[in-house]
Amino acid sequence: MRPLALLPEICLLVGAVVTLLAGSFLPRERQWVARLITVAALLAAGVSAAVALGGPPRTAMMTTFAVDTGTGILRLVVVAATLLVIGLGVDELAGTKRESETYTLLLLGALGALVMGGTIDLLVLIVGFLLGSIPLYGLIGMVRTPQAAEGVLKTYLLGALFGIVLMLGVTVLYGIGGATAYADLTVGLAGAPAAAVAFGLLGVLAGLLFKAGGVPGHFWVPDATQSAGTTAAAFLTTVPKVGALLAAHRLMTIVPGSVDWPLLVAVLAAVTMTLGNLAAFAQTDVRRLLGWSTVSQVGYLLLPVAVAGGTTAALASLLVYLGGYAVTNLTAFAVVAAVPGRRSVEDYAGLAASSPWLGAALVVSLLSLVGTPPTAVFLGKLSVFTAAWDGGLAWLVVVAAVNTVASLFYYLRWLAPAFRREEPTEPARRPAPYATAAAVLGGIGVLTLGLLVAGIAPMLGTVLVAP
């Protein structure tokens, strides 16, 4: 079993249970204790993940869970992202009816992402899918508005559908490959009929794309992002994606050469980024805009998945991009959380003048989403472009570059009003303090990751240092 190898996951699970229990007995004005428990659980998970980093690759839970560099980085990214989500959500959640429940769901959702990203067994992948999805439904529906009800219903129905498709895919792959563990499947699928392999693979991939928010499983993302609370929106556009994309990468390494899966994933990537960008063009609500922008980002993130087997740099570039994307996206959401009264891009007029720090965080995060140096996503884009070109998908890199230019347009539509000089019509409310701090912290993180990755890279182990 080697339970110690799963210490970070255990920390999250125990944290979720204790938070829920504590929250049930604490009076409303002392729910901050539940928050502390959650943060402590996350910190414990983060520390144990950092300690485990750099150890030799091994497996846990009867060879269904890989503890390698990929999992190690995934744990750090998920833990850091969840901490940032809580930081930006304190203002919104503190003292509300369902504060501790929200924290519990965040922890369980994070755990689901870890299980998905770390597993090397199709059956555990199903468990991870469910564990990651069900808390999301709760999180989206936590604010009781008609819009949120619509968002959660949409997410739930799509989740149920794609969950079944995932299980169908797993069943087919098990049927023709004779196993569910990736190591055995590699052998089992080698001689299997290509059509059946492609069918099963598509099913599993579709389930993962639902979690990642890529085409064809993307329909829920903009609605859920717009209608859910900011905390939930920030979480569901970041953490599940991280787990699902690593899971997709692991899945792609077992597919036999009889199926041209790089092309399949490449086409999905191209469609995802193009659709996300085109849809984001017309948005005026910043949450919906960010929702579509996260769809387009999944398109770029699928580049290294498409070349998963072809080049050694694919995994490294995926991890770099995932880390950069997580902190960047959360910084943008932290700005949104800091000024909850501003909904449309026009509402942001004069933001930089009234709160320069928020303006700076917004510039850094949006320019990072575009991929301007010296930010974290620039480094991610540079490495995934390089990996994809190296893997023979130069055409996809060109598509991604054109999409990047197109994306600049709608990010600027948000940035331009924020930096316009405008006298406020009504006295501006003070921005939420915790969310502002999270935004500034996130902005610093974006720049630090972009500039000082040299100092971080050696810590990431050999995977990232290899060209």
State the residues that interact with another protein by CB under 8 A: 316, 356, 367, 370, 372-374, 378-379, 382-383, 385-386, 389-390, 397-398, 401-402, 404-405, 408-409, 412, 416, 419-421, 453-454, 457, 464-467
Min dist CB 185 to another protein, Å, is: 31
Nearer to another protein (CB atom), residue 152 or residue 345: 345
φ, ψ at 180 (rounded to 5°)? -115, -15
The crossing angle, in degrees rounded to 10, of helices 433-451 and 356-370 is 40
Min dist CB 411 to another protein, Å, is: 10
Nearer to another protein (CB atom), residue 93 or residue 464: 464
Residue 25: CB atoms within 10 A of its CB come to 10
Min dist CB 316 to another protein, Å, is: 7
Which run of H or of E encompasses 90? helix 69-93
Nearer to another protein (CB atom), residue 57 or residue 458: 458
Integer-rounded Cα Rg, in Å, for the chain is 21
Residues paired with 59 in a beta bridge: 66
Nearer to another protein (CB atom), residue 5 or residue 316: 316
Min dist CB 401 to another protein, Å, is: 4
Among 384, 249, 218, 404, CA closest to 303: 384
- Rounded Cα distance between 16 and 410, Å, is 38
Nearer to another protein (CB atom), residue 146 or residue 455: 455
Tokens describing residue 137: 């439904």
Min dist CB 315 to another protein, Å, is: 12
Nearer to another protein (CB atom), residue 138 or residue 392: 392
- Rounded Cα distance between 225 and 234, Å, is 8
Q: What letters, b where the CB count within 10 A reaches 16 and e where it falls short, cover 412-443? A: ebbbebbbeeeeeeeeeeebbebbbbbbbbbb
DSSP type of residue 428: P
Q: Tell me if 230 sits within 8 A of 164, measured CB to CB.
A: no
Min dist CB 348 to another protein, Å, is: 14
Q: Tell me if 61 sits within 8 A of 53, measured CB to CB.
A: no
Nearer to another protein (CB atom), residue 227 or residue 407: 407
Min dist CB 345 to another protein, Å, is: 13
DSSP type of residue 260: -
